[in-house]
Structure 1
Amino acid sequence: MKQHRIPAVFMRGGTSKAVVLKRSDLPAEEADWPALFAAILGSPDPHKRQLDGMGGGISSLSKICVIGPSTRPDADIDYTFAQVGVVDETVDFSGNCGNMSSAMGPFAYDEGLVAGPRDGEAVVRIHNTNSGKVIVSRFPVAEGEAEVSGDFAIPGVHGTGAPVALDFLDPSDTFGRGALPSGHPVDRLELSDGRSVRVTMIDAAVPSVFVAAADVGGNTCVHPEEIDADDALMARLEEIRQRASVAMGLTPDRDAAARRIATPKVAMVGPAADYADLSGECHAAATQDLQIRMISAGQAHRAVPITGALALASAALTGETVVAGCVSEGADPLNLRIGTPSGIVTVGATRDPDDGKIASARILRTQRRLMEGQVHVPADRLSPSAPTA
Structure 2
Amino acid sequence: MPSERSFGGDVAFLASHRDTIVLSSADGKSKVAVVPSICGRVFTSTTGGDAGPSFGFLDDAVIASKTTLPKINGYGGEDRFWLGPEGGQFAIFFEPGDKFTLDDWQTPAPIDTEAYRVVSQDATSVVMTHNATFKNFSGFTFNTRIDRTVRLIEGAQACFEMKIGQGQSSCVAFDTDNVLTNTGTAAWTKDTGMLSIWTLGMFKPSAKTIAVIPFAPGPASSHGAVVKDDYFGKVPAERLALNDRAIFFKADGLSRTKIGTNPMRSTPVCGSWDPSRQVLTIVKYSLPAGVTAYVNSAWEMQKEPFAGDVINSYNDGGTTAGAATFYELETSSPALALKPGESGRHVSRTLHFTGPREDLDRICRAVLNVSLTEIESALP
Which is helix-richer, 1 or 2?
1
Q: TM-score, normalised by structure 2?
A: 0.30
